A = this chain, B = another copy of it.
Amino acid sequence: MSSEQAPAATLSKYTKRVALKTILGGSSDGGVGLTGHRVVIGGWIKSSSEIRKQPVTPQPAAAPQVVSPKDVTCSAVLQSRIPLLKSIMKVLVDSALATPCQVMPTGTCLLIEGILQQPSVQGKHVEVASAMRIHNALTWATHGFFQDQGFLHVQVPIITSTDSEGFSEKFLVTTLLSKGKKDDQISSTEDAGDLKKTNELVSQLETRQKAKSGVAVETRKLDLSKDLFAHQTYLTVSGRLHLESQACALGNVYCFGHRFQAEKSESKKSLAETWMVDVEMAFSELEDAMDCANDFLKFVCKRMVEGCMEDLQFVLKQIDKAVMERLQSTISSSFERISYAEAIEVLRQVAGKRFHSKIEFGVSLTEEHQSYLVDEIYKKPVIIYNDPKGLEPFYVRVNDDGKTVATFNVVLPKLKPNLFAGRTVIRGSQSEERFNVLNSRMNELGLQKQQHEWYLDLRRHGSAKTSGFSLMLEPLVLYATGLNDVKDVIPFPRSFRRANS
């Protein structure tokens, strides 16, 4: 924004603009003094609507400069979070330069020069950036918490040959298929015909082999020894194992990054690419990890309430009336801690309520079960610990009962009525530090030892107890914004097409 005879304006660092915020923050009248001044305003149409035919009463100072046969409200372009400005600013587009229909499409970039005048009608403001600012604040608060507590931020690899969970589908990473093999290489009809013939042949052979052996045989199998890493590599599902190795060298560590799951799901919350905070602490047991997760969640919620008030006010008005209450209660309530076995017992004793799925030891608690515990019984965040062994990955510590393992899940209260998505924001565990127990657990699960040798090495000459957890960032952003869909808080969500489209 530039101005003539207007209050002093300072260019934002590194850009050719004056942020509205700096002008308004520096003036006691919230920008009212700018009325009548000539300004240039730049930005994008984020949403727009024609103003209903109400007569415009031009201000004497502004009238000669602005011709406006058909008004378009451009308040949405201002990117401003200052409510007063929104109510006093109304920029009129001169239709001799651009007709309203030209500036209507979302994404249109505008530079508008004109005289500021007080609006006769008030446009509705849509603030698309609040969710992203809350996202940023959560990230920054996360770093703040762990740095304050003396944790070191470290890196874990994205490309890995280690299958840390053993449950989920993974993305294969390869260079064998992308080197100079462009789609346009098979150009002639003849070549295409030959390729078709080859593929048919391969397909016939596959069918024959399947009939013989009873299993699907992949004849198109790639020779992975020729791949860049000379063996099969995946996108990482979790950073915990790599992090544990670093905890053994550095003490308490955390990392922040992308994690991947190649599951196809009809559920709209399923994403291939998510953000996680992984945490690992040396000389630490399950209870320590639960304490840390508890403090961490309270800390970031507190930071939200302290530092994102404007955005939370917007959320409160436009999206979710319960947002402040939810954050405040997370800060002030003491999280309930119950074991999985206790949870099963508590749910079994609920009278007059029929759950969709059976409550039985050894079976995962569903979101319905969790919701009942959190929203109906305890009415605050609940940490459910010591899950059945069969539900958890190989590296979690087996408890003395032989049936459960040292894990925990932090389940948050409901976002909105009937919304179950993303309740579990943290999953944690204590690692199995006993070499022999870990070894026999891997045998039990039939895991390939070769890819886990480096992890077993951590215990070969004894080891400290370690524990940690993973925070799923997107569900936490939903919790702080009241939005329903994780895709609303990720600018480029990597979700899957539905199976048949």
Residues of A participating in the B interface, judged by any CB pair closer than 8 Å: 12-17, 19, 42, 44-46, 79, 105, 107-110, 128-129, 132-133, 135-136, 139-140, 143, 147, 149-150, 152-160, 169-181, 183, 185-188, 190-191, 194-195, 197-199, 201-202, 205-206, 208-209, 212-213, 215-222, 228-230, 232, 234-235, 242, 245-246, 248-252, 256-258, 260, 262, 264, 272-273, 275, 281-285, 288-289, 291-292, 457-458, 460-465, 490-492, 494, 496-497
B272 touching A185, Cβ below 8 Å = no
* Assembly CA distance A460 to B420 (angstroms): 40
Which residue from B133, B153, B221, B284 sits with its C-beta under 8 Å from A136? B153
A174 touching B175, Cβ below 8 Å = no
B198 touching A205, Cβ below 8 Å = yes
Q: A283-B17, A492-B156 are in contact. Are A132 and B218 (CB under 8 A)?
A: no
Of all chain B residues, the one with the shortest Cβ separation from A219 is B198
Of all chain B residues, the one with the shortest Cβ separation from A454 is B492
A217 touching B186, Cβ below 8 Å = yes
Which residue from B187, B273, B496 sits with its C-beta under 8 Å from A157? B273
Of all chain B residues, the one with the shortest Cβ separation from A501 is B230
Number of copies: 2
Q: A15-B281, A16-B284, A173-B235 are in contact. List 20 more A-B contacts (CB 8 A).
A: A14-B288, A44-B249, A107-B457, A107-B458, A107-B460, A109-B461, A132-B154, A132-B250, A140-B153, A155-B491, A157-B273, A170-B178, A171-B178, A194-B217, A198-B205, A201-B201, A228-B496, A229-B497, A230-B497, A256-B256
Of all chain B residues, the one with the shortest Cβ separation from A149 is B13
B201 touching A14, Cβ below 8 Å = no
Q: A213-B188, A246-B491 are in contact. Are A222 and B220 (CB under 8 A)?
A: yes
Q: How far is the CB of A307 from chain B (nearest CB, A)?
A: 11
* Assembly CA distance A29 to B423 (angstroms): 50
A152 touching B133, Cβ below 8 Å = yes
* Assembly CA distance A212 to B191 (angstroms): 8
> Which residues of chain B are within 8 angstroms of A291 by Cβ–Cβ distance?
13-14
> Which residues of chain B are within 8 angstroms of A464 by Cβ–Cβ distance?
42, 44, 109
* Assembly CA distance A262 to B227 (angstroms): 10
A172 touching B169, Cβ below 8 Å = no
> Which residues of chain B are within 8 angstroms of A221 by Cβ–Cβ distance?
177, 181, 195
Closest 4 CB pairs of A and B: A108-B461, A109-B462, A14-B292, A172-B178
* Assembly CA distance A434 to B164 (angstroms): 47
Of all chain B residues, the one with the shortest Cβ separation from A108 is B461
* Assembly CA distance A245 to B109 (angstroms): 12
A191 touching B172, Cβ below 8 Å = no
* Assembly CA distance A135 to B205 (angstroms): 53
* Assembly CA distance A133 to B151 (angstroms): 10
> Which residues of chain B are within 8 angstroms of A222 by Cβ–Cβ distance?
177, 220
> Which residues of chain B are within 8 angstroms of A173 by Cβ–Cβ distance?
171-173, 235
Provide 20 A-B residue pairs closer than 8 Å at the C-beta atoms, listed in order of the A residue.
Answer: A14-B149, A14-B252, A14-B291, A16-B283, A42-B464, A46-B249, A107-B460, A108-B461, A108-B462, A157-B492, A158-B258, A159-B272, A174-B174, A180-B216, A181-B216, A185-B215, A185-B216, A197-B205, A201-B201, A228-B272
Of all chain B residues, the one with the shortest Cβ separation from A464 is B109
Q: How far is the CB of A299 from chain B (nearest CB, A)?
A: 12
> Which residues of chain B are within 8 angstroms of A109 by Cβ–Cβ distance?
248, 461-464
* Assembly CA distance A281 to B14 (angstroms): 8
> Which residues of chain B are within 8 angstroms of A246 by Cβ–Cβ distance?
132, 491
